[in-house]
Structure 1
Amino acid sequence: MTNEGRAESYLVLGGTGFVGSHILKALAASSSTRIASYSRSLPPAKKVLGGVQYYTGGVQDEEKLVQIMLETEATVVFHTVSPPHNDDESAYYAVNVLGTQAVINACKRASAFASTSPASAEAGCVRALVYTSSSGVVWNGKDISGATEDEVEIPEMGLEAYSATKGIGEKAVLAANGDKLKTAALRPHAIIGPGDNQAIWRLVENYTSGQYHFQIGSGTNLFSTISVTDVARAHLLAAAALLRDSTSPAVGGQAFFITDGIPVPFYKYPRLVWRELGASDDFWVVKLPRWLCLGLAFFVERWRGLVGGHTILTEFVVKTVTMEQWYRCDKAERLLGYKPTVTLEQAVRETVQWWKEEGAQEHAAQSQSKKLR
């Protein structure tokens, strides 16, 4: 509820996804009474949360978005929809740019329509939009060591398509901030937790194939991580701050880094995963020089460009695992009241446990489904 005692109605776009599903759980746990999810598909029966209304549709479908916002009388919208990192560039643009603009338009249109209906009063007027961005929007391929939001900017040319399009989406959301619609963007880095279908299976593959014995670079570069539980909680804090924007330090139109507050050497996270999977504490490691891997990646990418196919050894990947990327979240602590609550070790244990109990089976089913398409 807001300070005025109004009951808010929450709509989570991408509610069956990684971050979105945890936001739904956090809302349900907070006794929020009006919660809705909008995603491409419905969740499996065992994952349906009581008290949550589920809708399906695409993020680019502006008319459908307006319809759902009006039907649920949404006052707060969380936009967590994001294509997988291994999608093609057209998917990145379609979701992160066109889809995000459709969400912004829908929020404004739904509010305008609701405000003309005396019966709805302020119910159904979307007053807060929180966008799940990424710290990657500011990365330009150089070391970032303890940067704040004021010290780094979104570059004109993004380092790769995913981050570039996320940056365009973030800019659009923040530019939409105004008196009637308050907006904010959260920039998590390296999200860890149950439901992760992107990083964890790659780390599992590294382990089962024996690749975990090979390290690119010195491994001393520091890296930020964050539990998906804290990411979800930060979204709720951002929404609450936007709703009280007129009575507290303004957060509307701003972006916030969110991390667990403790940068660690890059390989600490994957090695915690590998040990949870069964690797010994002192497994042998061969360190491959960064310059060598960059050279190999240069030639592999160009060879693949000629003959086709996909490679995971890219210049972008080599830079990602060998350069410093850690961020300060003082601003989120000061303006949102954010404090990390889950350690890296705890997040890894929860993730690997989920993988063993559910994730591996889900990933296998998804892979099989893609093969049949």
Structure 2
Amino acid sequence: MVQKLDHYLVIGGGGFLGRVIVNQLLERGDTVSVFDLRRSFEDPRLSEFIVGDITSPADVLRACEGKTVVMHTASPPHGLPSSAYFKVNVDGTKNVIRACVQAGVSKLVFTSSASVIFNGKDLINGNEELPYCDVHMDAYNETKALGEQAVLSANGQGGLLTVALRPSGIFGPRDMQGILAMVRAARRGQWRFIIGDNQNLFDMTYVDNAAYAHVLAADKLAPDNGTAGEAFIITNDQPTFFWDFPKILHHELGYRGTQSIVISRPIGMLLGSIADGIAWLLRPIKEIHPNISRFRVQMVTANRYFDISKAKQRLGYKPIVSLQEALRITAEHWMDFEAK
């Protein structure tokens, strides 16, 4: 009997992480389709680029038909109203699950977040045995947890095998959120400031490593090897003092003498509280997202690093690009971007 070749569908395949997953699959010769809100790129190697909305059950079912492996990477960017995250990360994910079962998809890989177990307090060598937060720090993390639970609970439905990956702090070229914010901060001269004493360790994940983990998870996903119905934390496996990360990036961008002004954590929390209060007062008129908030101060001053032994042992994962090399590549991309 001839084994049927896999046909991959990357939901959100035009996005930051999804695009890299698509490229890695295409580079090894797989049959790949993309499902996204808009046609953001052209590649003759693609089987098809399906334009549609994850919140539309009909669009999602149309995209899943004829596919054997679905990778669901779609999620709204940070800074949107809470309703956007519930609509996409929860309702949209449930649409994906139903469509996969109805279309006879055999594997579903879901992009979750390491923050589903982070509540702002120190997280040291966190692993998959830790429970979800009772109270999440924002709607993004709350809805990622709800979406992950739905995906893992669906394992076995109609023969569908599911797995969830929890990357920590994805960054890299084309990162229009975290890295772009750091680049803009450097342009404004804000590379001189840090909050806290920089003694807290943090885990980041280069986008190529996160994508590689998704491909590995799809390849390894089977009912008898401890992957189906499981979540896996993914990092670069190089915990780094939090402010060392932007310091290296800024140095790669050509800035020197960085981080010369230190704002203590208590002062940072006070400033964050004031900014949160102003945002709350203005909410009836206009929703704003200040550069500083209590949430952000908690994020940049807490330990937040993980033990990825489970991913190493069951997926065979190990980073393919080091943190230093990843930061060099990322800075090089942004220097080229600015030059154009």
TM over 0.5: yes
After superposition, the CA RMSD in angstroms is 1.7
Q: 5 Å matches for 1:116-131?
A: 126-131=105-110
Distance 1:128 1:306, change over 3 A: same
Report Cα offsets for 1:169-222 as digits up to 9, x if no partner: 010000000160110100001112122111111101111111111110001100
Task: Check conservation: 1:8, 1:76, Cα contact below 8 A.
Answer: yes
The aligned counterpart of 1:62 is 57
* Greater mean deviation of Cα atoms: 60-69 or 262-271: 60-69
Task: Check conservation: 1:60, 1:103, Cα contact below 8 A.
Answer: no
Give the TM-score of the pair, scaled to structure 1: 0.86
Out of 37, 44, 51, which is 2:34 matched to?
A: 37
The DSSP-based 3-state class of the residue aligned with 1:354 is helix
Report Cα offsets for 1:273-321 as digits up to 9, x if no partner: 11121112x4351111101110121122112322344312100000000
The aligned counterpart of 1:257 is 233
The aligned counterpart of 1:93 is 86
Q: 5 Å matches for 1:103-252?
A: 103-111=96-104, 126-150=105-129, 152-178=130-156, 180-242=159-221, 245-246=222-223, 248-252=224-228
Distance 1:284 1:214, change over 3 A: closer
| Structure 1 counterpart of 2:228, one-letter code | G
Out of 10, 13, 21, which is 1:12 matched to?
A: 10
The DSSP-based 3-state class of the residue aligned with 1:35 is strand
Stretches of structure 2 lacking an aligned partner (at least 5 in a row):
none
Out of 76, 84, 87, which is 1:83 matched to?
A: 76
Distance 1:219 1:52, change over 3 A: farther
The DSSP-based 3-state class of the residue aligned with 1:206 is helix
Post-superposition offset of 1:345:
1.2
Matched, 1:53 2:48: yes
| Structure 2 counterpart of 1:40, one-letter code | L
Q: Percent identity?
A: 36
| Structure 2 counterpart of 1:210, one-letter code | G
Report Cα offsets for 1:242-267 as digits up to 9, x if no partner: 1xx14x42211110001111101001
| Structure 1 counterpart of 2:111, one-letter code | T
Task: Check conservation: 1:129, 1:182, Cα contact below 8 A.
Answer: yes
Distance 1:184 1:359, change over 3 A: farther
Task: Check conservation: 2:155, 2:229, Cα contact below 8 A.
Answer: yes
CA distance in 1, matches of 2:41, 2:225: 41
CA distance in 1, matches of 2:4, 2:219: 12
Structure 1 outlier segments of 4+, above 6 Å: none
CA distance in 2, matches of 1:44, 1:261: 31
CA distance in 2, matches of 1:88, 1:307: 14
Task: Check conservation: 2:90, 2:147, Cα contact below 8 A.
Answer: yes
Task: Check conservation: 2:14, 2:41, Cα contact below 8 A.
Answer: no
CA distance in 2, matches of 1:360, 1:77: 37
Post-superposition offset of 1:356:
2.6
Q: How many residues are paired up?
A: 335
Task: Check conservation: 1:195, 1:359, Cα contact below 8 A.
Answer: no
CA distance in 2, matches of 1:174, 1:217: 37
CA distance in 2, matches of 1:307, 1:13: 35
CA distance in 2, matches of 1:18, 1:85: 13
The DSSP-based 3-state class of the residue aligned with 1:321 is helix
Distance 1:284 1:302, change over 3 A: closer
The aligned counterpart of 1:371 is none
Distance 1:359 1:103, change over 3 A: farther
Distance 1:360 1:160, change over 3 A: farther
Stretches of structure 1 lacking an aligned partner (at least 5 in a row):
112-125, 362-373
